Amino acid sequence: MASSMLRVSRNDTAPARADLETRASDEHHQALKLWLRLLACTTRLESEVRTRLRTEFDTTLPRFDLMAQLERSPAGLTMSELSRRLMVTGGNVTGITDMLEAEGLVARVDHPTDRRAYTVKLTAAGRRLFARMALAHESWIVGLLSGLEPGEQEQVYRLLARLKQHLQTTGSSKEGAR
């Protein structure tokens, strides 16, 4: 398998592993190469987090994400609110919630104002487990991004904020540009 090299700077001469970025060549527009690099980095980070969640906590990223939303909302969230925040279908949320409820990590309680609905909350066991997972997750992200110095991380963060703002003001789907 031939490896491709994309040169971003004089120091970026390591062969790229086969990923989304290897689709680009030196002749492609810089914006396309940047987009593919962002996708490649995101994919690698997410893959590593998924693997570590599975290995260390026997859980999945969607379960972690649902629990994270509930941790941020101690009063609980309706299924439709969870679906909206997670940007997945109600069926996906129901399946995950059913499993977490069976494990005693979340509970469904009557909605305070809508008799047709209920809210989902973390149980005490769910809060304890999520606290452990969140601590590990933060540690993983810190380690995975340690290839950049703190000042470089801040610079990338600021540049991505500018890009995000630009996308929010110029994109055709402003709701999805969060």
Q: What are the tokens at 8?
A: 């971003």
Q: What is the fold of 28-144?
A: Arc Repressor Mutant, subunit A (1.10.10)
> Cα–Cα distances in Å, from 125 out to 73, 105, 175?
16, 6, 34
Q: Where are the domains of the chain?
A: 28-144
Q: What is the pLDDT of residue 76?
A: 94
pLDDT bin (cut points 50, 70, 90) of residue 18 is: low
Q: Structure pTM? A: 0.78
Residues comprising the chain, all counted: 178
* Tens-place pLDDT, residues 74-110: 999 999 999 999 998 888 999 999 999 999 999 999 8
